[in-house]
Amino acid sequence: MTGKTHASCGLLVGALTTQYFHTDLFSSVTVIVLSVISSLLPDICHTQSKIGRKFKILSFLIRLLFGHRTFTHSLLFIGIIGFLLHIIEAPIYYEVAIIIGLISHVILDMVTPKGVKLLYPLPITIKTPLNFKTGGLVDLSLATALTVGAIYVFFQSEVNDIIHHWGYIFTQY
């Protein structure tokens, strides 16, 4: 999937996390930023990815050591990040945003023909039976749907009020 699709999924993860934990404004902004960054982080192994271009040397080294869609797309990587977050005693809503952001990336890449090495260091590629080309129509449609979903979560009460208001108006006639 493209960086836009991963970021839009991270945005939705952040929106749902802030809603679930009822975070204050500062924590909400932080959760959203962390979830978007973590949804892009596994592609640090790809030097041309959004995050790979920001950290070129680190991206090159990770690619050289592990290759693409291996370690950074694995349960091992997610587990290490989760363990480190637990060790530093990050607030639970930060941990959830980061871990689910990472998981969302891996799941979205499992839907592509290349799949991922989910069980790295085992050389087994995991992908879904039905998969879609990165950058294709399904990728773009998914990015759009995820963004719309995030916007709905952010403004859910306002949207529901509008729908209720219009529903009331139409039932009067």
Where in the sequence is the domain holding 34, given as residue range(s)? 3-171
As a whole-number percent, the residues of the chain with pLDDT over 70 amount to 97
pLDDT at residue 169 in the model: 66
Do residues 117 and 123 touch, judged by C-beta distance below 8 A? yes
Question: pTM of the prediction?
Answer: 0.89
Q: Among residues 56, 95, 60, which one has the least CA distance to residue 78? A: 95
Q: What does the pLDDT look like over 105-133, one tens digit per residue?
A: 999 999 999 999 999 999 999 999 988 88
Backbone angles phi, psi at 17, to 5 degrees: -65, -45
| SS3 call for 113 | coil
pLDDT, average across residues 45-73:
94
Q: Give the count of domains, the chain.
A: 1
Q: Does residue 134 carry a pLDDT above 90?
A: no
